[in-house]
């Protein structure tokens, strides 16, 4: 390995530590307190050891075994996450019915991730700021206002992107994990009996002795593995190897030492449970550690917010959501996007739940439902891929499902017990998110079928044109099509209403694939229409769901591949077909969902902006379509 390659690998490792592990890395701030706050367990040495053992073995099974060892072997052209799993599943030649069910499962996972994205900034920042009460007891009334100020600043800065500040994420998080590990190690050295928690038998004995309390505790144990999805979702940015090395070399050992240290401390000083993390350190270190914790929680929050933006953008690319205004905040890295509308919706919800629940202990009750649901959906999709792509035997799939899905459903069932205490919040977010996703998807499919009926084939249109004398005006026109092989409605309108066409017409169909990226030189595919002298050609432009769909740029690159594009794409006239849905009486979809679809359609970003068309050279032509 060359020196340059080693340097690049090192920066990827540091970057992965900074971006990927913020959420799971800050869980020790609130996890142990939450477990004993909801389970009714006594703060005895044996109960504490059993609880720590549950935490450590849950992390081992879910993160190390499931994500690092299994799921990170599954990738969609190097990309990971729920959308990558859905994309892979949709490529396995399934029936339309099975494809629909897998897509709906993916929608549910996305919706639950939105709940996670709203709760993480609130609980992380609030738990860090609560540490100020150790240094300044009189500051207790100002904890919530201070958290609100920090969160306001965090969301206000989203439009600037994470490029500049992101360079600091890695070193800060490395310092956070080293400090946490040293704090835990000091307590372990003083109280080595806590090392019994490393034995799986300690966890099994604890469950056997306290079956009811341990089941209730599982709803809070899951707080120790929040952010596990980020390991997989960010694989496309850093690669599997840097994330795997960061986890095994630093993050997992540091978390293990931190939780063991907290267990040792609370076993000897039960009153320390209220601030178990900060009390790992001597008094003179409390303020610096609180400052470091605040920075770490901001990084964790930034990572989850960016993840929500990225996931939403991918869903829009695949047609699962209406096109919102998306700003790309980096020239050099894919996936760094900012969605203003979503940013301020999240901000309002985060502020609302901080004010309503007022403490990290209260917020902890709502966290488990969103996280456990997301974990379970990842496992369901993994089992499907193990069978369809890896061709594993049913025995292997049943054993894997029994261990992983069984544990995650246990987490989910336990978290559901806290529904009235706050778990209803992510449930409501998930229901709303799923309703929006499924309504848009179904409405979009209905409009798609109606458009296809209205458009007719492009070959048939060219054949008709060949038999008809139509005046041709000088210049070049590009018509944006919606379905490969069909004539855009704008093309019909130009012929039927204006009774003329440009000398050279290029029909462009944009196809977003289930792959994350499509190389620029491979995007354009040209079709023979049978009448080359008519000056009409068709090209399909393929974009990955994480690519920026810039049509003029893609056509400019395609000029070298075909003589049919012998013009400057930035000076051509563009025509887009806008379908205006109108509600008609039928049983395709309930009326309220039709109205919801129309509302989203009217507020969606227009085609011209989405495909980066020159606005001063674009003509939008509308047609009414029955919904």
Each residue of 346-386: pLDDT tens digit? 999 999 999 988 888 778 777 788 888 889 998 998 898 88
pLDDT for residue 57 is more than 80: yes
pLDDT for residue 399 is more than 80: yes
Q: Token pair of 416, please? A: 């559901």
pLDDT for residue 56 is more than 90: yes
- Predicted TM-score (pTM) of the model is 0.83
Residues 131-140 have pLDDT tens digits of 888 778 887 8
d(CA 299, CA 173) in angstroms, rounded, equals 8
Q: Which residues contact 91 (CB under 8 A, 6 or more apart)?
A: 514
What is the structure's pLDDT at 529? 61
Mean pLDDT of 160-189: 83
Distance of CA 44 to the CA centre of its chain: 40
pLDDT for residue 528 is more than 70: no
What is the structure's pLDDT at 353? 92
Residues 181-238 have pLDDT tens digits of 999 999 999 999 999 999 999 999 999 999 998 998 898 899 899 888 777 877 766 7
The mean predicted confidence, pLDDT, of the chain is 85
Confidence of residue 4 (pLDDT cuts 50, 70, 90): low
CB burial of residue 587 (10 Å; 0-12, 13-18, 19+): exposed
Give 275's strand partners: none
Q: Token pair of 403, please? A: 């261990």
Are the C-beta atoms of 473 and 447 separated by less than 8 Å? Answer: no
Residues 400-418 have pLDDT tens digits of 999 999 999 999 999 888 8
Mean pLDDT of 295-322: 84
**CA nearest neighbour of 24 among 209, 279, 276, 258:** 258
What is the structure's pLDDT at 564? 67
Least confidently predicted of 151-160, 230-239, 309-318, 364-373: 230-239
Q: Which residues contact 141 (CB under 8 A, 6 or more apart)?
A: none
What phi-psi label fits residue 391: left (phi over 0), alpha (psi between -120 and 50 degrees) or beta? left
Residues 269-286 have pLDDT tens digits of 999 998 899 999 998 999
What is the structure's pLDDT at 163? 52
d(CA 488, CA 508) in angstroms, rounded, equals 9
pLDDT for residue 336 is more than 70: no
For residue 81, report the phi and psi dihedrals to the nearest 5 degrees: 100, 175
d(CA 116, CA 370) in angstroms, rounded, equals 6
d(CA 185, CA 177) in angstroms, rounded, equals 12
Mean pLDDT of 245-259: 94
Mean pLDDT of 607-613: 84
Mean pLDDT of 532-546: 79
């Amino acid at each position: 390995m060359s020196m340059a390659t080693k340097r690049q690998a090192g920066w990827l490792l540091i970057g992965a530590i900074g971006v990927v592990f913020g959420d799971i890395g800050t869980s020790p701030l609130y996890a142990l307190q939450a477990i004993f706050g909801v389970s009714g367990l006594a703060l005895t040495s044996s109960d504490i050891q059993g609880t720590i053992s549950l935490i450590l073995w849950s992390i081992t099974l879910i993160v190390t075994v499931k994500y690092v060892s299994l799921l990170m072997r599954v990738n969609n052209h190097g990309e990971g996450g729920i959308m990558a799993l859905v994309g892979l599943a949709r490529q396995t030649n399934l029936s339309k019915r099975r494809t629909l069910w897998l897509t709906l499962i993916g929608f549910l996972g996305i919706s639950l991730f939105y709940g996670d994205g709203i709760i993480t900034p609130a609980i992380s920042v609030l738990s860090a700021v609560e540490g100020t009460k150790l240094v300044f007891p009189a500051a207790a009334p100002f904890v919530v206002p201070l958290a609100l100020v920090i969160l306001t600043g965090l969301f206000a800065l989203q439009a600037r992107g994470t490029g500049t500040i992101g360079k600091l994420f890695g070193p800060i998080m490395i310092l956070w994990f080293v400090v946490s590990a040293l704090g835990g190690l000091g307590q372990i050295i003083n109280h080595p009996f806590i090392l019994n928690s490393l034995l799986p038998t300690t966890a099994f004995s604890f469950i056997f002795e306290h079956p009811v309390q341990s089941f209730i505790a599982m709803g809070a144990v899951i707080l120790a593995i929040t952010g596990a999805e980020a390991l997989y979702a960010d694989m496309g940015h850093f690669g599997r190897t840097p994330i795997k090395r960061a986890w095994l070399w630093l993050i997992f050992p540091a978390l293990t030492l931190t939780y063991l240290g907290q267990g040792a401390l609370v076993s000897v000083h039960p009153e320390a449970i209220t601030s178990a993390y900060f009390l790992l350190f001597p008094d003179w270190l409390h303020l610096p550690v609180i400052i470091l914790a605040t920075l770490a929680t901001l990084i964790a929050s930034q990572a989850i917010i960016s993840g929500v933006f990225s996931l939403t953008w991918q869903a829009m690319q695949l047609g699962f959501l209406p096109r919102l205004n998306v700003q790309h905040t980096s020239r050099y890295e894919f996936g760094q996007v900012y969605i203003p509308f979503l940013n301020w919706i999240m901000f309002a919800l985060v502020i609302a739940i901080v004010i309503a629940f007022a403490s990290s202990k209260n917020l902890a009750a709502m966290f488990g439902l969103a996280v456990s649901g997301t974990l379970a959906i990842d496992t369901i999709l993994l089992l499907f891929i193990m069978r369809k792509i890896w061709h594993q035997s049913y025995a292997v799939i049943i054993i894997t499902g029994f261990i992983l899905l069984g544990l995650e459903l246990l987490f989910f069932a336990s978290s559901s017990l806290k529904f009235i205490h706050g778990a209803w919040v992510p449930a409501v977010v998930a229901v709303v998110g799923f309703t929006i996703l499924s309504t848009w998807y179904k409405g979009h499919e209905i409009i798609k079928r109606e458009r296809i009926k209205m458009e007719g084939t492009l070959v048939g249109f060219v054949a008709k044109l060949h038999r008809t004398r139509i005046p041709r005006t000088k210049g070049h026109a590009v018509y944006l099509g919606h379905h490969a092989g069909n004539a855009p409605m704008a093309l019909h309108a130009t012929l039927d209403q204006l009774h003329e066409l440009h000398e050279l017409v290029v029909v462009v169909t944009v196809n977003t694939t289930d792959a994350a990226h499509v190389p620029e030189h491979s995007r354009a595919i040209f079709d023979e229409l049978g009448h080359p002298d008519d000056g009409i050609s068709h090209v399909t432009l393929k974009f990955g769901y994480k690519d920026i769909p810039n049509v003029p740029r893609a056509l400019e690159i395609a000029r070298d591949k075909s003589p049919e594009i012998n013009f400057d794409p930035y000076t051509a006239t563009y025509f887009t077909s806008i379908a205006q849905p109108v509600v008609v009486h039928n049983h395709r979809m309930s009326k309220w969902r039709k109205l919801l679809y129309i509302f989203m359609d009217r507020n969606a970003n227009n085609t011209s902006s989405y495909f980066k068309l020159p606005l001063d050279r674009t003509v939008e032509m509308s047609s009414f379509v029955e919904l």
